[in-house]
């Protein structure tokens, strides 16, 4: 199936930080309370839909690690990592695994501290991912790293952690701009204003552009939950991608585009993957096949 091997259509000389990559925000939140659920598919199912960047947020309770989002906890980290193990066993395409402890949460006058002991995470990485064989750790110049380099290495993933706190993790200079005001705008405004990040910011590594909004009291959207926000945001998603495609500067910069509910259908993936055609990094002999698979014109 195309979405399980779309990276094979990308040229060897394409720099990985220039490839348009579908990403999953809060990848492990399937089954969470409606206030925290951002995905209806498991990470394995997200991969099958074309996602190659996964954001995993962890919190620790009674000596065990769980997926966290806000004050909510979801599936065990053991279950979440088992899905990534399933990806590694069944597929060879490269993916980015962004692992971190969920940030501390303020609830009124109180601050809820979130922390995960690194040995707990290291144990999961070793248990499921065979990192000595599969983790990319030798990255002398990230901005020069090409798809051909990755293929030649035989590695299947890179684990991102800004402080390299976990074994085999690397700081891949992941720029992820976010501001509560911008991400709390009405969706039609957000679809325009958020593009200023691509226009104005530069990254020394990966550029993670988030297309999903955030519920925040006091903003224009207020306290709408992820599914309700996504219902509105997805109406403007194609135009957001069209605006990126029409601007040579943004088209050059765009890299990871993440979103919520990435397994609802292929609408988001198809729009994101179209950008690789416009970037000119799809293998010439595969362009027609690639375009047909995503239902787009060359």
Alpha-carbon gap, residue 140 to 91, rounded angstroms:
26
Between CA 108 and CA 247 the distance in angstroms is 43
Confidence class of residue 297 from pLDDT cuts 50, 70 and 90?
A: confident
Measured CA to CA, the distance from residue 71 to residue 77 in angstroms comes to 16
Query: Could you give the C-alpha distances from 62 to 59, 70, 77, 153, 262, in angstroms and in order?
Result: 10, 18, 13, 39, 31
H/E run at residue 90: helix 77-90
Q: What is the CA radius of gyration of the chain?
A: 18
C-alpha closest to that of 71 among 30, 109, 38, 103: 103
> In whole angstroms, what is the distance from residue 208 CA to residue 21 CA?
9
- Among the residue ranges 18-32, 113-127, 187-201, 229-243, the one predicted with the least confidence is 113-127
pLDDT in tens, 90-113: 999 999 999 998 766 665 666 667
What is d(CA 291, CA 270) in angstroms, rounded to the nearest whole number? 9
Check residue 72 and give its pLDDT. Answer: 86
Question: What is the pLDDT at residue 221?
Answer: 84
Quote the DSSP letter at residue 184: G
pLDDT per position as a tens digit, 262-277: 999 999 999 999 999 9
CATH number of 2-294: 3.20.20.190
């Amino acid at each position: 199936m195309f979405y399980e091997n779309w990276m094979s259509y990308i040229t060897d000389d394409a720099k990985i930080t220039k490839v348009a990559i579908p990403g999953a925000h809060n990848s492990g939140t399937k089954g969470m309370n409606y206030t925290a659920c951002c995905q209806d598919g498991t990470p394995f199912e997200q991969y099958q839909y074309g996602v190659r960047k996964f954001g995993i947020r962890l919190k620790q309770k009674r000596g065990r690690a769980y997926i966290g989002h806000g004050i909510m906890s979801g599936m065990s980290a053991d279950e979440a990592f088992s899905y990534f193990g399933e990806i590694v066993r069944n597929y060879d395409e490269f993916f980015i695994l962004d692992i971190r402890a969920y940030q501390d949460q303020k609830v009124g006058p109180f601050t809820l501290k979130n922390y995960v002991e690194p040995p707990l995470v290291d144990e999961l990485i070793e248990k499921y991912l065979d990192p000595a064989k599969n983790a990319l750790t030798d990255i002398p110049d990230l901005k020069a790293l090409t798809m051909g380099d990755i293929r030649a290495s035989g590695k299947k993933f890179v684990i991102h952690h800004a402080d390299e706190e976990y074994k085999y993790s690397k700081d891949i200079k992941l720029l992820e701009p976010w501001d509560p005001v911008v991400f709390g705008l009405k969706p039609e405004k957000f679809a325009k204003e958020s593009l200023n990040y691509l226009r104005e910011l530069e990254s020394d590594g990966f550029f993670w552009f988030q297309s999903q909004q955030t519920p925040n009291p006091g903003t224009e959207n207020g306290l709408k939950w992820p599914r309700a926000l996504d219902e509105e945001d997805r109406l403007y998603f194609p135009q957001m991608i069209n605006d990126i495609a029409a601007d040579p500067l943004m088209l050059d910069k765009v890299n990871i585009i993440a979103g919520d509910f990435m397994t609802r259908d292929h609408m988001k993936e198809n729009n994101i993957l179209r950008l690789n055609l416009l970037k000119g990094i799809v293998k010439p002999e595969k362009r027609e096949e690639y375009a047909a698979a995503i239902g787009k014109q060359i």
